[in-house]
Amino acid sequence: MDGLVIILGFCALVYLLFKSGGGRHSKPPQNVPEPAFTKTKRSNKPRRKPPPPFQEKGATHLDKPRVIEGRARIVDGDTIVINKTQIRLFGIDAPEIDHPYGQKAKWALVSLCKGHTVRTEVTDVDTYGRTVGKCYLSDGRDLSAEMVKMGLAIDWPKFSGGVYRSMETGDARKKLWLADARQKGRMHVWEQFDYDQYRAKCRTRRNKS
């Protein structure tokens, strides 16, 4: 009888210990604070700027044209250099140096500018970074107009708005057929001309050798 009482007492003690949380299956502690999340510092590195919007090929108009003035060095029939700035004459197209009438156009422009200070009102900068401007001699004459009147340049309506077209000589576009072809987008004419010139040079070299 005494042994039974001892066993029952032992069982009761074990039961009380289990209920009080002493067992290995005890409940997790309550009201445990959640881990704090630290805010990451914002980087001081500047963000990359978005690329500029696409711009179509052509010239960029300047609202307030700047002025370049000085003696002009002639590159070809529609290009001069003033104070180390290369300037394309506004609104016209003259032949390239190695094209028919190219040398003649260059020397005509040299003759026009000789003894004059040329004043250029910069109107545009084209997509290649070249300066475009209206160029005037010291007596007020427009260089673009003078070259067209001499039949050594033609109007380029795409850029001039056609202001020099009425000044063209009757045979200008026939003489300057390569410039005319360029304006009409017929660049295969240029390619054929360049190819013919190349073959002619090759024949000349073979004959000399």
Q: CATH number of the domain at 173, please.
A: 2.40.50.90
Single out the residue of 153, 163, 95, 150 nearest to residue 123, CA to CA: 163
User: Which residue stretches of 38-186 are H helix?
Assistant: 102-113, 143-149, 157-160, 172-175, 177-183
Write the pLDDT tens digit of every residue in 163-198: 999 999 999 999 999 999 999 999 899 899 888 888
User: For residue 107, is it within any domain?
Assistant: yes
The answer to whether residue 156 sits within a structural domain is: yes
Mean pLDDT of 154-170: 96
For the four alpha carbons of 64, 70, 71 and 75, in that order, the dihedral sign comes to: negative
Q: Examine residue 203 and state whether it is found in any structural domain, yes or no.
A: no
- Per the structure, the complete domain to which residue 143 belongs is given by 60-192
Residue 119 in any domain: the answer is: yes
Mean pLDDT confidence for 63-89: 91
Q: Is the CA virtual torsion 14, 19, 21, 24 positive or negative?
A: positive
How large is the average pLDDT for residues 131-151? 97
Assigned domain for 21 exists: no
Q: Is residue 19 one of the residues assigned to a domain?
A: no
CB 154 within 8 A of CB 172: yes
More confident residue, 35 or 164: 164
pLDDT attached to residue 26: 47
pLDDT digits (tens, 9 = 90+) for 45-60: 444 343 333 233 444 5
Tell me whether residue 105 is in a domain. yes
Indicate the number of domains in the chain: 1
Asked if the structure places residue 204 within a domain, the reply is no
